[in-house]
């Protein structure tokens, strides 16, 4: 187990290195314009451009430029997203500060949606699998098809139109200045974003659970469970679900991690000041320190979640051994 963790951690570092390198190339080196000029704006003196170039370290050799960015990846208090590089030139706020102040919104959105899609998707999948071919199953799968196909931005505007504009049941998008995340959650500002964000996932999970469970129920060990004289309920819920839900747990960990790195579309449409919204805004403003910061932050999250999920798998499936 110890050796496995060390190996996986080394591998994780490699992945993050590659991600950071690609991000650096895409956002700093590939654009045709001079990054220093982008930073200071169009109407400025050559001295200012030179000063910016020096401030970003762009006058140094390529490997120094990159390593200045890469240093910000190391999860150490003084180094992680260090302010001398990861400093937004759009609003002159350190990227780290911006991300951490926005993180509660993203967490509230992602966790709430995750709870919702788990509570909706998994039971629907189970019912569909158990009553395969019934009216329940058919309607659930129609729902799933719609949920998987409907684009989030379209759903978001549709829901806002119906439930806020027409019916007035839900508050409008956005969080007023001065309102804390807790207050926003309590006043229902997250309800529509949760529903919209969880829709696709719920549909996807329903289909996955249904498929897994149907497949599991034809396994030999399910026949053995029936042959023991167990009730059908016990066969399904103890023997069937145990095997069918294990891959779902893996999926869940990764999906949640991806969302914690920012639910870009939902945050943007509903005007939620989360990490995803920051990323989208920074891309539009060509604010490359911010873009790199958010990308590396999200990549870090996903890589760590990946490791956690793989370790958790050992506890869920006794056949998995770490060597």
Residues that bind other proteins (CB under 8 A): 219-221, 223-231, 239, 242-243, 246, 316-319
Cβ proximity to other proteins, 138 vs 223, nearer residue: 223
| Radius of gyration (C-alpha) of the chain in whole angstroms | 24
Q: How far is the CB of 193 from other proteins (least distance, A)?
A: 36
Separation of alpha carbons 12 and 6, rounded Å: 10
Q: Which is nearer to other proteins, 129 or 298 (CB)?
A: 129
Q: In 3D, which of 155, 123, 119 has the Cα closest to residue 136?
A: 123
Note whether 16 and 73 are within 8 A (CB).
yes
**CB 308 to other proteins: min, Å:** 20
Question: Does residue 109 contact residue 263 with C-beta atoms inside 8 Å?
Answer: yes
Q: How far is the CB of 205 from other proteins (least distance, A)?
A: 20
Closer of 42 and 233 to other proteins (Cβ): 233
Tokens linked to 20:
């950071």
Minimum CB separation of residue 134 from other proteins in Å reads 12
Nearest approach, Cβ of residue 318 and other proteins (Å): 4
CA 183/CA 165 separation, integer angstroms: 22
Q: What is the DSSP letter of 93?
A: -
Question: Whose Cβ is closer to other proteins: residue 45's or residue 218's?
Answer: 218
Q: For the chain, how long is the longest CA-to-CA vector?
A: 85
Q: Determine contact, residues 262/275, Cβ cutoff 8 Å.
A: yes
Secondary structure letter of residue 286 according to DSSP: T
Q: Closest separation between CB of residue 21 and other proteins, Å?
A: 41
Contact call for residues 202 and 147 (beta carbons, < 8 A): yes
Q: Which is nearer to other proteins, 47 or 220 (CB)?
A: 220
User: Based on CB atoms, which residue is closest to other proteins, 100 or 221?
Assistant: 221
Tokens of 256: 């949640």
């Amino acid at each position: 187990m110890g050796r496995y963790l060390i190996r996986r951690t080394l591998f994780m570092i490699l992945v993050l290195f590659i991600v950071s390198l690609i991000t650096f190339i895409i956002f700093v080196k590939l654009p045709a314009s001079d990054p220093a000029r982008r930073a200071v704006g169009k109407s400025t003196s050559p001295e200012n451009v030179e000063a910016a170039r020096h401030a970003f370290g762009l006058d140094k050799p390529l490997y120094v430029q990159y390593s200045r960015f890469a240093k910000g990846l190391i999860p150490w208090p003084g180094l992680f997203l260090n302010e001398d590089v990861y400093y937004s030139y759009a609003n002159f706020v350190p990227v780290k500060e911006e991300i951490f102040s926005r993180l509660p919104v993203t967490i509230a959105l992602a966790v709430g949606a995750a709870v919702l899609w788990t509570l909706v998707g998994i039971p629907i999948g189970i019912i569909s699998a158990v009553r395969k071919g019934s009216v329940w199953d058919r309607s659930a799968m129609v729902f799933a098809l719609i949920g998987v196909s409907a684009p989030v931005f379209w759903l978001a505007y549709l829901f806002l139109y119906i439930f806020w504009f027409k019916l007035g049941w839900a508050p409008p998008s956005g969080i007023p200045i001065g309102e804390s995340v807790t207050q926003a959650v309590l006043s229902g500002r997250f309800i529509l974003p949760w529903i919209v964000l969880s829709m696709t996932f719920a549909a996807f999970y329903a289909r996955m659970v249904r498929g897994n469970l149907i497949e599991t129920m034809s396994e030999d060990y399910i026949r053995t469970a029936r042959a023991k004289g167990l009730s059908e309920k016990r066969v399904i819920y103890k023997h069937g679900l145990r095997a069918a839900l294990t891959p779902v747990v893996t999926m869940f960990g990764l999906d949640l991690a991806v969302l914690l790195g920012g639910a870009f579309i939902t945050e943007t449409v509903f005007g939620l000041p989360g990490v995803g919204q920051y990323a989208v805004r920074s891309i539009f403003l060509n604010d490359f320190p911010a873009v790199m910061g958010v990308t590396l932050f999200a990549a870090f999250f996903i890589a760590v979640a990946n490791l956690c999920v793989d370790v958790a798998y050992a506890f869920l499936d006794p056949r998995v051994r770490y060597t």
